[in-house]
Chains A and B, each alone.
Chain A
Amino acid sequence: MGRRLHGGHYFPRFQGEPQEGDGIKEQPPPRRAIVFLKQGLCIKSQTQRRDLQVELSPLVEPGDRVKAGTIIARDDEKISTPLHSPISGEVIAIEERPHPGGGKAPAAVIEADGQDEWELLDHHDPERLEVEELQRILYEAGVTDGGNGGFPTQFNTSPAKPEDVKYLIIDGIDDEPYLRYNGTLLAQDVERSIAGIDLMRRALGGPAVHLGIGGGSRKLIAALRERAPDWLKIDPLPARYPQGDEEMLIRTILRIEVPPGGISTDVGVVVQDVAHVLAAYEAVYEGRPFIEQAIAIAGPAVSEPRNLRVRIGTPLSELLQPKDGGRVMLDGALRGLPVEDLEMPTLRNTRGVVALPGPVARLLAWSEPGFTKDSFTKAFLALPWLPKRADFGLHGPERPCVKCGFCLDACPQGLAPALLGEYAAHDLLDEAEELNIFSCIECGLCAYVCPAKIPLLEQIRAGKRKIWEAKG
């Protein structure tokens, strides 16, 4: 059996989160789609393996007509996966646009023609596919860039090779606030999910397969257990954040440690989320390339929180309009990227868009009993049956560390974030490295729990960058 997650924090459901039973609604194709030609693995952790970020050269020019699913960029040499047009219409520009990850990156802008014609992949009998053919379909459908290490195939989609993979883990954990729909996706069609996992397993040459479930209902676990074939092991796990991170899944399910600064595929494990499993199913059984995905539209400043199935590259302005003073984050409130311009599109690895409220003055807010507050401590009288109100405030001016040790208790990697942050801020880089700063998976819990509201995650990220620069 696996081992317990060290630290972590169970996030209650916040106001502004889609409800569990709400399902996933279809969003019509956008009038205009923007597809960045830059892509890369290791998106969750911003300062890990920058070498896996690549830019693909476009196969189309402005004026070309494309269908939904037409490949518009691919590069079989670099570690990458082809990119598709998410809508049918005309390419109107290939231009540099601001990227959510910072800086500018080339992107193809496609204007919809309203027809929504699809270019489907070749249809096959899914049961009789050879491994190589299966890998080719997944590659051309754009399914192979899931997870920090990608999905290894013969097409150079990952730093690892398919024959090195010993384990396949499917991440069905709903641990991160606002971005919890893995259980919903699985529950929508258990048969499809299992068929999709089977396709991935076959494409990897039959590794041991684990499905990690956390936060899903008992009914879902029972349904999965009932229909799971012999090769699929269902692992119910606590939905304590960051249980869904690759390092945590690998540790808790397999008891294997990913080395500091390494990624899952370094230790022979491929981790894929439910969205990619379903995309694999759709690619092989229905010939549909991976141009639609489920994302959460959530947050206190969203008028109607919901989970949507949207085309990749949909500008955020078509998905939400934050209430007054709200800020928009791509990929959650814990480690998302702030978005200034709502013309920014969703990316292939986007899991949600969260709108946060602006500042509010509440006199003596700290003296309230806190029926709807969430805290790592039990300092508030939080009533379990009430939905919790998320807190985005700094609670006053900046303060020095009082060494309460909450960050050490919360750190899932068992590090000392308070010291790592302090060392990084004072350029004590050798000391930071000695305390394994590169083991940090950047989950952000340390900064979440800090009562002094020290931006520990930012400090640690900056420290990692400085160490790289010093090493050249």
Chain B
Amino acid sequence: MRVSERVDRLFTRALEQMREGSRLKVIVAGTRESLFGSSYRTAQEVPFLRDSLGMQRYMVMPILALLPAALAAIYFYGWRALAIIAVSYFFGALTELTFCAVRRIEITEGLLVTGILYPLTLPPTLPLWMVALGVIIGVAVGKELFGGTGYNVFNPALVGRAFLAFAFPVQMTNYWFEPFERGFGGFLHYAPAADALTKATPLMQMKFDHVTTSWLKLLWGNTAGSLGETSALLLILGGLFLILTRTIDWRVPLGYVGSLGLFSWLLWAIAPDKFPGPVFQILAGGLLLGAFFMATDPVTSPITTKGRWAFAVILGLLTVAIRSFTGFAEGVMFAILIGNMFTPLLDRLTLPRGVKGVRVE
């Protein structure tokens, strides 16, 4: 591998120039090891044999799974969607690097997922400076203040979004657009046209005007909504990819979607004219994005199997409750953030103590 060697030599030379123990050196050295991945440093204790899956690959899997939804975001709302993602990555990385430099630790891969997940939860025309502010708050307050990837209590992407929802409620809830849906769609536009402004997502239309949206539209995704949440089909495909590659635990999305379906069916059975049916509840809004990509964030969800089931059911219950009985039309973000708070308790209650079995007399 001649390219490898050449890049490696570049790093070696750069590192020689840097002062021992300097902040830059820590980060550059860490970056080199991450880039070279695999066997740059070999295991020095048992087991010497290690799984080929490292943190880089583990964190790249959700990005692969989100690519269809991200492409759909561009198709539905124009190239501005890509600009939002780029701003999110840039300012997210800047925040992360600052904290790593101050604390003299190597940069970790957690940002890879946050950087794409967070913009997909935003309305298509949110000013870019707000996008930047949100990701800075999300990464800094949501993750780094807790100690960095692995130690955070709340999903950083949702912390950033929650901050924006409170700081800029108008921009976050009133500017929805009808998507492009003909021909090359948004691939030929930068942003949605001004006359496409609708001010309501399917969930809002349902809640405030009792107007239903067809399942087909929800499945395909040509409805108003956040960048990445509209196409149920692509989100399900991405989620299945993660489940089949065993990157996420199938129990969380199944438990979340299943319990949400059950609870909303109960409400619908009691008062069909007041509450929407379960299929609408599942396909509309951010539920699928949340269930497959945010509730499954390993750091902020329980580690045990039983804990994950309980976590998923709590999320389903909270989402239905918020959507049905509060002033908000959408409840996925709050449900997951509140659910994150249950994680340590659920873990504690369900810690495995070993295989229970038959003991001889």
Binding site for B on A (CB under 8 A): 3, 6, 177, 251, 255-257, 259-260, 267-268, 327, 329, 333-336, 338, 356-367, 370, 373-380, 390-405, 408, 412-416, 418-419, 434-436, 439, 444, 447-453, 455, 457-458
| The one of A259, A333, A393, A452 that contacts B37, using a Cβ cutoff of 8 Å | A393
Chosen A-B contacts, 19 in total, with CB atoms closer than 8 Å, are A251-B355, A334-B48, A335-B46, A361-B1, A363-B35, A379-B58, A392-B39, A394-B54, A396-B37, A397-B34, A402-B150, A408-B303, A414-B352, A415-B353, A436-B354, A444-B47, A447-B50, A448-B49, A452-B150
Asked if B229 lies at the interface with its beta carbon under 8 angstroms from chain A, I say no
A449: which B residues are within 8 A, CB to CB? 51, 53
A429 to B56: give the CA distance in the assembly, Å.
32
B216 adjacent to chain A (CB < 8 Å): no
6 more A-B residue pairs beyond the given contacts A363-B1, A391-B50, with a C-beta to C-beta distance below 8 A = A256-B359, A364-B36, A365-B37, A367-B56, A447-B46, A453-B54
Of residues A357, A364, A391, which shows the largest number of chain B Cβ atoms within 10 Å of its Cβ?
Answer: A391
- What is the CB-to-nearest-CB distance from A361 to chain B, in angstroms, rounded to a whole number? 5
Which single residue of chain B is at the shortest CB-CB distance from A389?
Answer: B52
Q: How far is the CA of A455 from the CA of B8 in the complex (A)?
A: 26
Q: Which residue of B has the minimal Cβ distance to A388?
A: B52
Chain B residues with Cβ below 8 Å from A393 are: 37-43, 50, 54
Specify which of A255, A362, A365, A403 is in contact with B299 (CB 8 Å cutoff): A403
Residues of B within 8 A of A (CB): 1, 3-5, 7-8, 29-30, 33-43, 45-58, 60-61, 106, 108-110, 147-151, 244-247, 249, 298-299, 301, 303-305, 308, 351-360
Whether B46 pairs with A336 at a CB distance below 8 angstroms is yes
CB neighbours (8 Å) of B108 from chain A are: 399-400
A452 to B93, CA, bound (A): 20
A268 to B39 CA separation, bound complex (whole angstroms): 45
Given A374-B51, A399-B150, A364 and B355 contact (CB-CB distance below 8 Å): no
Main secondary structure of the interface of A (DSSP, over half): loop
Contact partners of B37 in chain A: CB under 8 A: 362, 364-366, 393, 395-396
Q: How near does chain B come to A44, taking the closest CB pair, in angstroms?
A: 11
Known contacts A6-B355, A257-B358, A378-B244, A363 near B33 by CB under 8 Å: no
Check if A364 sits within 8 Å of B52, measured CB to CB. Answer: no
Q: Give A259 to B56 CA distance when docked, in angstroms.
A: 39
Question: What's the minimum C-beta distance from B197 to chain A, rounded to whole angstroms?
Answer: 40
A395 contacts which chain B residues (CB < 8 A)?
Answer: 34, 37-38, 50, 54-56
Contact status B42-A392, CB under 8 Å? yes
How far, in angstroms, from A408 to B352 measured CA to CA in the complex?
8
Shortest CB–CB separation between residue A120 and chain B, in angstroms? Answer: 39
Report the Cα distance A402→B244, complex, angstroms.
20
- CB of B51 within 8 A of CB of A448, answer yes
**Are the CB atoms of A396 and B46 closer together than 8 Å?**
no
Residues of B within 8 A of A335 (CB): 46-47
CB pair A374–B52 under 8 Å, yes or no, is: yes
- Given A334-B49, A336-B48, A403-B299, A396 contacting B354 (CB threshold 8 A): no
- Please name the residue on chain A nearest to B8 by beta carbon: A361
Which listed residue, A400, A412, A414, A453, touches B150 by the CB 8 Å rule?
A: A400
- Most B C-beta atoms less than 10 A away, residue of A357, A363, A457: A363
Are B56's CB and A257's CB within 8 A?
A: no
* A390 and B247 alpha carbons, distance in the complex (Å): 21
> Please, which residues of chain A bring their CB within 8 A of the CB of B4?
361-363
Min Cβ gap A242→B in Å is 11
Task: Please pick, from A256, A390, A439, the residue contacting B360 in the complex, using a CB distance under 8 A.
Answer: A256
Q: A390-B49, A393-B42 are in contact. Are A403 and B357 (CB under 8 A)?
A: no
CB distance from A263 to the nearest CB of B (A): 14
CA A451 – CA B110 in complex, angstroms?
A: 13
Q: Known: A260-B354, A414-B355. Contact between A450 and B47, CB under 8 A?
A: no
Q: Which residues in A have their C-beta under 8 angstroms from that of B48?
A: 327, 329, 333-334, 336, 338, 356, 392
Q: How far is the CB of B67 from chain A (nearest CB, A)?
A: 14
Task: Identify the 4 closest CB pairs spanning chains A and B, nearest first.
Answer: A395-B54, A393-B39, A400-B150, A365-B38
| Complex interface: chain B residues within 8 A of A404 (CB) | 58, 298, 303
Residues of B within 8 A of A452 (CB): 55, 150
A259-B359, A447-B46 given as contacts; is B245 within 8 A of A377 (CB)?
yes
Instruction: Chain A residues near B298: list those with CB within 8 A.
Output: 402-405
The answer to whether A416 touches B36 (Cβ under 8 A) is: no
Q: Is the CB of B360 within 8 A of A267?
A: yes
Task: Give the most central of A257, A396, A403, A414: most B CB within 10 Å.
Answer: A396
Chain A nearest CB: distance from B330 CB in Å?
27
Cα–Cα, bound, A401→B151 (Å): 8
The reply to whether A396 and B55 contact each other, CB–CB distance below 8 Å, is yes
Cα A451 to Cα B299 in complex, Å, equals 13
In contact, A373 and B52 (Cβ under 8 angstroms): yes
Chain A's nearest CB lies how many Å from the CB of B282?
25
A255's contact among B43, B151, B247, B358, by CB below 8 Å, is which?
A: B358
A256 to B356, alpha carbons, bound, how many Å?
Answer: 10
Contacts of A455 in B (CB 8 A): 43, 45
Answer whether A405 and B42 are a contact pair too, CB < 8 Å, given A367-B60, A413-B354. Answer: no
Q: Which residue of B lies closest to A367 (CB)?
A: B60
